[in-house]
A and B are shown apart, each in its own frame.
Chain A
């Protein structure tokens, strides 16, 4: 079965960087894009972008361009999401998520989710 297992909680100071990992299992890693979604405390879901694990190409939401970098390691089936120049507003739970592609052709977004990684930015 598809599993996405994320790295543990982080506490960072403003201006620092954080790197969240998402290890995939139960399917062929390079076949499906991996997305990242974040959720600030008490707030809604915010899509950040995705990476194509096959070739490492990325697409970021405009808000995060220049400050977020997504990479992958195909040898360990792991995707990484780094946020640079952290500020207090980046305090959030960060999720990796994958779409569903059924054998009968059905497709829909965000069926599979990691457990979330809490990133706290504080002095």
Chain B
């Protein structure tokens, strides 16, 4: 499996919404709903925010939502807050695992 493609960076203002994309192929992201998203703050371990494309673990804010269209999965963060500034990674977990390259979110 090849690494999934994410934009290197995105930015948004406080209170706004942003979307981070994660693009694979018809053989991976396009064929399975086993995509998860992770938030990582500097010096910390990643934290799972979304799994199975659009499900949230208990305790994760409903400001985080996931979706998928064709070969691209997306993470949307609404009502941006300062603490959302972090790196975000998508992950496909079909058998072996593969991560996206990561996206740095800057909150303006």
Chain A interface (Cβ < 8 Å from any Cβ of B): 35, 37, 43-47, 59, 61, 95, 97, 100, 106, 108-111, 113-116
Which B residues lie at the A interface, using CB under 8 A? 36, 38, 40, 45-46, 48, 51-52, 55, 57, 87, 89, 91, 93, 96-102
Do B99 and A47 touch across chains, with their CB atoms under 8 A apart?
yes
CB contact between B91 and one of A59, A100, A106, A109 (< 8 Å): that residue: A109
Query: Across the two chains, which residue of chain A brings its CB closest to B56?
Result: A108
Q: Which residues of B contact A97 (CB under 8 A)?
A: 45
Note all chain B residues with C-beta closer than 8 A to A59.
96
In the complex, what distance in Å separates the CA atom of A61 from the CA atom of B93? Answer: 13
Task: From known contacts A108-B52, A109-B93, A110-B91, infer whether A45 and B38 are also in contact, taking CB-CB under 8 Å.
Answer: yes
> Contact at A109–B96, with CB atoms within 8 Å?
no
Selected A-B contacts with CB under 8 Å, 10 pairs: A37-B99, A44-B87, A44-B89, A45-B91, A45-B99, A97-B45, A108-B52, A109-B48, A109-B93, A110-B36
Select one of A108, A114, A115 contacting B48, CB under 8 A.
A108
Contacts of B89 in A (CB 8 A): 44-45
Question: Which single residue of chain B is at the shortest CB-CB distance from A4?
Answer: B45
Q: CB-CB < 8 A to A108: which residues of B?
A: 36, 48, 51-52, 55, 57
Nearest CB in chain A: distance from B87 CB, A:
8
A45-B102 in contact (CB<8A):
yes
B106 to chain A, nearest CB (A): 16
Q: Are A100 and B57 in contact (CB under 8 A)?
A: yes
Closest residue on chain A to residue B52 by CB atoms: A108
B57 touches A109 (CB 8 A): no
CB distance from A4 to the nearest CB of B (A): 9
Chain A hits for B98, CB < 8 A:
47
CA distance A1 to B78 in the complex (A): 31
The distance from the CB of B34 to the nearest CB of chain A, in whole angstroms, is 8
CA distance A72 to B59 in the complex (A): 32
B36 adjacent to A45 (CB under 8 Å)? no
Chain B residues with CB under 8 Å of A109's CB are 36, 48, 51, 91, 93, 97
User: How far, in whole Å, are A115 and B91 apart by their CA atoms in the complex?
Assistant: 20
